[in-house]
A and B are shown apart, each in its own frame.
Chain A
Amino acid sequence: MNHSISLTVNGARRDFVLDDPRVTLLDLLRERLHLTGTKKGCDRGQCGACTILVDGKRINSCFALAISHDGADILTIEGVARGDQLHPVQAAFIAHDGFQCGFCTPGQIMSAIGMMQEAQAGNDPERIRECMSGNLCRCGAYAGIVDAVLEAQAGADESSQRRSA
């Protein structure tokens, strides 16, 4: 039986006919939309490489059946920059060497963006490490990742102060 769903992906509405209910958001993004920035690492919710934002919240897309997310608003790594202008978290990862091979990086960046919106960790490195523990990095770029998040958070704090001043 075919199922029709619609999603908003990086701001654009997309309609899909699913001929198999087993397809995950991860596979839909990669195979149907060719948005291959979202990585398939373990495919079992352990590595975080597939992290995307669904309705503003970071989740593991490997554990999300597309059919169950009819109507969802999805943000992937392809949707965070504005044209040539990198998202501040992307720029901070480059500035602080927050990666080596780069495979986990889209998931790390999406997770960091989600974490900053959750506003639980602030600028506390220990809380950032804990709140980012769902993203593994085999190269061990964790120190750079924490520094990148701290810088991005500092920038976000500064611009919110400017707005409220």
Chain B
Amino acid sequence: MEQMKETVLEYIVDEYLDEDDEDEVFYDSPLISSGIVDSFSMVSLKRFIENKYSIKLPDEEATPEAFDTVNSICKLVNKHLG
């Protein structure tokens, strides 16, 4: 689980924050509600996770709430990893 959190967090920092961004992101930092990741960009984040873990996340479960923190994302991924 920790490894997964690290991977997802690293991807978010690389893709959605700029190099000189002063915002720090942690496992429990809000992503969607803070505006770091908007609802359209969430699609590419979802795609990354699906590719990385070879799973398919149903649209009805990939809600802004479920994607709002690294912790909640990893919880959803784990559910689908069985």
Report whether chain A binds chain B.
Answer: no
